């Protein structure tokens, strides 16, 4: 186990990754705080037995609770650890983009490596140098230094029913570099204003206007694009 500021004991790097991913899964589930082993295994791209072994260590360390047939949920201790990891990760992403000139599709893996090992004082310095950002380059909110996650009210683009609709891209829920490069080529990035012109029935494609251009994207891609009314 590594140590952060003020002698606080930090979870190991692999434990931080699992806690942060568990928080992200629960975050997008809404009112259900329980995460299944299979869902976590899919997100971490490992086997279910491998996840079970890590979850058992997290349980012994007091980071998670596990209930048969429901899955695991983060304890307050585990949630704080997850949020601080997410904070360092997202600040690292902003720093890499704003200060070092990386593109948004290049930073996720780099930020994973950086965020797991830097101290809170280094994270605070990066935050200041990046201009005290409130969101990462993908639009996700950055937890505060006190371990609080800002609330964002937005909706998946795939769930917008009334058309035409003037919208603002709030965040993009993808780490896939190819997806991010493609969305950037269409100018579908956070804070961009778009108009959904029409949508085909039965989860068919969506027709958008972005600036003076019209584009068509698939339903699955639209599920990962979250928007607010313009």
Per-residue pLDDT tens digits for 119-151: 999 999 999 999 999 999 999 999 999 999 999
Would you say residue 34 lies in a domain?
yes
In this structure, how many other beta carbons lie within 10 angstroms of the beta carbon of residue 30?
7
156, 113 in Cβ contact below 8 A? Answer: no
The strand pairing partners of 210, in sequence order, are 213
Residue 229: pLDDT above 60? Answer: yes
Residue 105 belongs to some domain of the structure: no
The reply to whether 97 falls in a domain is no
pLDDT at site 74: 96
Whichever domain contains 198, its CATH number is 2.30.30.90
Which of 54, 78, 102 marks a domain boundary?
A: 78
Residue 221 predicted with pLDDT over 60: yes
Query: Is 133 inside any structural domain?
Result: no
Q: How confident is the model at residue 7 (pLDDT cuts 50, 70, 90)?
A: very low
3-state class of 195 per DSSP?
strand
**CATH code for the domain in which residue 73 is found:** 1.10.10.10
Q: Are 177 and 106 in contact (CB under 8 A)?
A: yes
Task: Classify residue 222: in a domain, yes or no.
Answer: yes
> Which range scores top for mean pLDDT: 40-54, 64-78, 128-142?
128-142
* pLDDT at residue 1, as a whole number: 38
- Summarised one tens digit per residue, pLDDT across range 168-208 is 999 999 999 999 999 999 999 999 999 999 999 999 999 99
Domain span at residue 203 reads 155-229
Mean pLDDT of 16-38: 90
Average pLDDT of the residues of the chain: 92
- Three-state DSSP class for 87? helix
Q: Sign of the C-alpha dihedral, residues 218, 221, 222, 223?
A: positive
Examine residue 185 and state whether it is found in any structural domain, yes or no. Answer: yes
Of 78, 107, 131, at which residue does a domain stop? 78
Domain boundary among 22, 54, 78: 78
Structural domain total, the chain: 2
CA distance 209 to 67: 47
Domain membership of residue 189 (yes or no) is: yes
In a domain, 225, yes or no: yes
């Amino acid at each position: 186990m590594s140590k952060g500021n003020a002698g606080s004991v930090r979870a190991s790097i692999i434990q931080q990754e699992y806690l942060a991913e568990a928080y992200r899964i629960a975050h997008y589930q809404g009112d259900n705080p329980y995460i299944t082993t299979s869902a976590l295994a899919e997100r971490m791209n490992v086997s279910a037995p491998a996840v079970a072994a890590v979850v058992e260590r997290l349980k012994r360390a007091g980071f998670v609770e596990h209930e048969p047939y429901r899955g695991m949920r983060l304890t307050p201790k585990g949630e704080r650890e997850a949020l601080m990891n997410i904070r360092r990760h997202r600040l690292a992403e902003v720093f890499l983009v704003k200060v070092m000139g990386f593109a948004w599709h290049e930073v996720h893996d780099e930020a994973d490596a950086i965020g797991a090992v830097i101290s809170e004082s280094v994270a605070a310095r990066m935050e200041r140098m990046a201009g005290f950002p409130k969101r990462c380059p993908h639009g996700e909110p950055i937890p505060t230094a006190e371990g609080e996650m800002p609330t964002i009210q937005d909706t998946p683009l795939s769930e917008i029913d009334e058309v035409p609709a003037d919208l603002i891209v709030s965040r993009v829920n993808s780490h896939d570099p190819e997806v991010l490069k493609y969305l950037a080529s269409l100018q579908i990035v956070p804070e961009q204003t778009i108009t959904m012109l029409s949508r085909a029935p039965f989860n068919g494609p969506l027709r958008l206007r972005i600036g003076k251009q019209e584009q068509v994207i698939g339903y699955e891609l639209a599920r990962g694009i979250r928007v607010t009314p313009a």
